[in-house]
Amino acid sequence: MSENPLRDAIEQAIKENEVILFMKGTPEAPACGFSARTVAALQALNAQFAAVDILPDPRIRQELSALSGWPTIPQLFVRGELIGGCDIVTEMYESGELAETLGVEPPADAPAAAADPGAPQSPPLSVENRLG
Amino acid sequence: MPTADEIKQRIEAAIPGARAEVEDWTGGGDHFRAVVTSPAFKGKTRLQQHQMVYAVFGDEIGGPIHALSLKTQES
């Protein structure tokens, strides 16, 4: 453990969840239009993703942005890599790149059932696993 | 609080050859939308292009500038 357990928890969450969205609010109740649009793009693809609400603790956002070099929320990570915020995710959704990056088929099909088995609840950071 | 015009000028001053169209999205002076074209975007990913624009404003993004929605294009 380093001296920064919150940053460790964020790094771990990014590592352990193939698709993870840091957002304001929750996928059911987004607290910002940009977060809502990003969730909508993921859900339109039936993508499975973990979500972290950054609002409960302002330090989450500070640490996340320090880590990612990205100043705004939401932030989408796929396989440990920052994909971008709302604008980039929306553009990629529209162009079909998002489905490709996520390795999902654009909808028409029923959502896949199997979820990533483990999104452990790290104490300083609440990660929820979602089925899209 | 910055105006759309100030944001435009700062982007154009900071990124070589950039042209920016900026609008105040909500009229509230804190949500802006910008379309930026620059030859300096050549060879950069979209993520890097957006980071170049965000870098112009540093900590102001998320502060006085609550949101800056971007579309970047190589010119």
A 17-76 residues with CB below 8 A of B?
A: 34, 61, 65, 69-73
Selecting from A34, A65, A84 the residue whose C-beta is nearest the C-beta of B47 gives: A84
User: A104 is written with which tokens?
Assistant: 């999902």
Q: Are A82 and A75 in contact (CB under 8 A)?
A: yes
From CA B15, how far away is CA B17, in angstroms rounded?
6
Instruction: Give me the interface pTM, i.e. the ipTM.
Output: 0.84
- What pLDDT does residue A107 have? 66
Q: Are A18 and A73 in contact (CB under 8 A)?
A: no
From CA A106, how far away is CA A86, in angstroms rounded?
19
- Going residue by residue through chain A, which has 132 residues, state the pLDDT in tens, using 9 for 90 and above: 568 999 999 999 999 999 999 999 999 999 999 999 999 999 999 999 999 999 999 999 999 999 999 999 999 999 999 999 999 999 999 999 999 999 988 765 444 444 444 444 345 677 776 554
From CA A7, how far away is CA B9, in angstroms rounded?
36
User: B23 is written with which tokens?
Assistant: 């609008």
Q: How many domains does chain B have?
A: 1
Q: Tell me the residue range of the domain where B31 lies.
A: 4-74
Chain position carrying tokens 């969205």: A21
Q: What CATH number has the domain bearing residue B31?
A: 3.30.300.90
For residue A112, the tally of other CB atoms under 10 A from its CB is 13
Sign of CA dihedral B18, A98, A102, A86: positive
Per-residue pLDDT of B2-34, as tens digits, reads 899 999 999 999 999 999 999 998 888 888 999
> Which chain B residues are closer than 8 Å to A65 by Cβ?
62
At the fourth CATH level, which superfamily is domain A5-130? Glutaredoxin (3.40.30.10)
- Going by their DSSP bridges, the two strands A19-23 and B19-24 should be labelled as unpaired
